[in-house]
Amino acid sequence: MKILVCISHVPDTTSKINFTEGDTKFDTNGVQFVINPNDEFGLTRAMWFKEKQGAIVHVANVGGLETEPTLRKALAIGADEAIRVNTPATDGYSVAKQLAHVAKEGAYDLIIGGRESIDYNGGMVPGMIAKLIGANFVNTCINLEVDGNNATAIREIDGGKETLSTSLPLVVGGQKGLVEESDLRIPNMRGIMQARSKPLTVKDPVDTNSETQTVSFQKPAPKGAVKLVDTVDELIDLLHNEAKVI
Amino acid sequence: MSVVVYTESEEGKFKKVAFEAVSYAKGIADTMGTSVTAVTVNGGNASELGTYGAAKVLEVSNDKLQNFNAEAYADVIAQAAKKEGASVVILTSSVNSKFMAPLVAVNLEAGYVPNVTELPSSTSPFRVKHSVFTNKAFSITEINTAVKIIGLAKNAYGLKENSAAGTAEAFAPNLDAHDFDMKIVSVDKATDKVTIADAEIVVSGGRGLKGPENWAMIEELAKTLGAATACSKPVSDMGWRPHSEHVGQTGKPVASNLYIAIGISGAIQHLAGINSSKVKVVINNDPEAPFFKAADYGMVGDAFEVVPQLNEKLKEFKAQNA
Ligand SMILES: Cc1cc2nc3c(=O)[nH]c(=O)nc-3n(C[C@H](O)[C@H](O)[C@H](O)COP(=O)(O)OP(=O)(O)OC[C@H]3O[C@@H](n4cnc5c(N)ncnc54)[C@H](O)[C@@H]3O)c2cc1C
């Protein structure tokens, strides 16, 4: 089985979010970039397939040179090969178009992305890839088994979960549950050394357009101070008469 | 030109998000001088959608679509949008809407913006505001394509009554074999509980509750309030509560009217998931807990004393205000 894991390069979860150039650009100053957490669950599940079922795992990212440390980290975790499509990630559709091309060229059986990236929260790239290449798709995937050409996936639904069976090629939008947090891997020295000699191919982008573009960013209005209460009676009174939520 | 809106239902009854989506669709249709067409799949009574501004309701009734199926539902919506010559398609932010939105977008060659919080600030060029960086910021985004797809954020726009005809028309889309490539093996759903996605009130517990054996008081409080229960990440990681209750950046988003956080510190990753809740109440014994900075109301106190008291007083309050 050939697996492609799509890796989004995102600000780490504790990053302070600021903008520059008249609130039109994300301020990367002092921001640490990481593998998107949802993608990391997918990458770890792919490692499981590699170790248990002999799968080949490639990772791909659409972005500039600055995303290569993130791809190297994925190689250090155990991916066999990395691909960077050398163009800025401008919107979900253009990223999906580039990755769909990579997916098609590489004839992957399974393509794993994250439910959403934690920067733009678009949640559209895996689904779009699936539609563009005519593969099946499962979103919010919390468990995945593959047996030959058949896959069984569990997805999260409101208030529970649903088990689906389908065939490959399959695209999943994954999240926590694909593996547990405790199974996530921290690259060790050996992995880091090996990653240096693993192939990281830079590909030219295919022709595509962006369907959406950011005009500007805004930060939420500053919050008023908390109202502290001493008794539960006071709290109930405020929730009823002031906030009107009970 | 029209605004097409997908209206979610369950067991033949519309969900609240359906009415919110129609209210929002009507808001856009008014600024664009057009009307709203709602699409239902084995849904409820069309006139209910009329109340919020749907002039026309395309009703799909099909046994094969009894359960949600992203591929097939996406085809239904895309075909309805084409039939109506839609310039804008409205979806919600439910798990199912987010599943099918990218499929509809590719099918219609339409730009899609999720987590939209307001009506467009301009319709030509078409600009909408939506939350990004897991609710830590907003982006004003322009959609360049002829057809635009909006994923409306939950609880962002509210319900607005706006009476229209709500005239029903049967609609039978063409479905092909590929639509049914995914087979549902089983569905495992707690039917007696309020889900985090649908809840108006969420009662959430953190590591401050010390252990799973102490959750009875959280469940009782939730029961009194008709609320869903939730938890912080370490609580689900330690197996005190199911993963499905974990809220935050890596868990579920919560956009309820009231979020009560008990024994939760208020780490940035937790706040990211609950920022779009309207009113936040924090109960924590540490006055320095970061959550107090993000809360509307706070009580410094021991959860083991406060929560049972709060539950008793709320029961009395409910009895008086019933
Ligand atoms: C990549 C990443 C993603 C993450 N995603 C999430 C996420 O999605 N959701 C999430 O929740 N976390 C997430 N986290 C974890 C987050 O950083 C915090 O560790 C977590 O939210 C802390 O949970 P907690 O507040 O329950 O526990 P603690 O930090 O242990 O806080 C417990 C609180 O309870 C209070 N307390 C103790 N005893 C009592 C008592 N008797 N009465 C009242 N109060 C009491 C304490 O004062 C304290 O404030 C993530 C972390 C990382 C690194």
Size of interface A-B (CB pairs under 8 A): 252
How far apart are the CA of A137 and the nearest CA of chain B, in angstroms?
8
For chain B, 322 residues long, give each residue's pLDDT as a single digit of tens.
Answer: 899 999 999 999 999 999 999 999 999 999 999 999 999 999 999 999 999 999 999 999 999 999 999 999 999 999 999 999 999 999 999 999 999 999 999 999 999 999 999 999 999 999 999 999 999 999 999 999 999 999 999 999 999 999 998 899 999 999 999 999 999 999 998 877 889 988 999 999 999 999 999 999 999 999 999 999 999 999 999 999 998 899 999 899 999 999 999 999 999 999 999 998 999 999 999 999 999 999 999 999 999 999 999 999 999 999 998 7
Give B177's contacts (C-beta < 8 A, 6+ positions apart): none
pLDDT digits (tens, 9 = 90+) for A152-199: 999 999 889 999 999 999 999 999 999 998 999 999 999 999 999 999
Which stretches of chain A are assigned E, i.e. beta strand?
A: 2-6, 9-11, 19-20, 25-26, 33-35, 56-62, 81-85, 110-114, 136-147, 150-157, 160-167, 170-174, 200-203, 212-218, 227-228
How far apart are the CA of A107 and the nearest CA of chain B, in angstroms?
19
User: Judging by beta carbons within 10 Å of its beta carbon (0-12, 13-18, 19+), is residue B59 exposed, middle or buried?
Assistant: middle
Nearest chain A residue (CA) to B180: A166
Q: How far is CA B142 from CA A23, A25, A124, B32, B146, in A?
A: 15, 15, 17, 16, 12
Ligand 1 mean position, distance from CA B259 (Å): 15
- Could you tell me how many helices (H) and strands (E) chain A has, helices first? 6, 15
> Which residue ranges have their beta carbon within 6 Å of ligand 1?
A 13, 37; B 206-208, 232-235, 248-251, 263-265, 267, 269-270, 273, 283-286, 289, 302-304
Q: Is residue A126 reached through a cis peptide bond, with omega within 30 degrees of 0 on the bond before it?
A: no
Per-residue pLDDT at A181: 87
Place of tokens 């401050």: B208
How far apart are the CA of A199 and the nearest CA of chain B, in angstroms?
31
pTM of structure:
0.94
Index of the ligand 1 atom closest to the CA of residue B205: 26
Q: Is residue A88 reached through a cis peptide bond, with omega within 30 degrees of 0 on the bond before it?
A: no
Decide if the complex's ipTM is over 0.90.
Answer: yes
Beta strand B137-143 with B126-132 is antiparallel
Give B99's contacts (C-beta < 8 A, 6+ positions apart): A127, A139, A140, A155, B68, B70
The tally of CA atoms less than 13 A away on the side-chain side of residue A127 is 26
- Chain A residues inside the 8 Å CB shell of B279: 239, 243, 245
Index of the ligand 1 atom closest to the CA of residue B206: 26
DSSP calls for B59-102: EE--GGGSS--HHHHHHHHHHHHHHHTEEEEEE-SSHHHHHHHH
Task: Decide if A162 and B111 are in contact by the 8 Å CB cutoff.
Answer: no
Task: Decide if B103 and A96 are in contact by the 8 Å CB cutoff.
Answer: no
Residue A234 CA to chain centroid, in angstroms? 44
Task: Decide if A239 and B188 are in contact by the 8 Å CB cutoff.
Answer: no
Residue type, A108: Y
Nearest chain B residue (CA) to A159: B195
Nearest chain A residue (CA) to B74: A131
Beta strand B297-300 with B279-284 is parallel
Mutation site, B91, B106, B313, interface A, largest A CB count within 10 A:
B106
| Angle, alpha carbons A196-A202-A208 (nearest 5°) | 150
Structure token pair of residue B109: 């060659």
Residue A133: which region, alpha, beta or left (left: phi > 0; alpha: psi -120 to 50)?
alpha
Nearest chain A residue (CA) to B297: A227
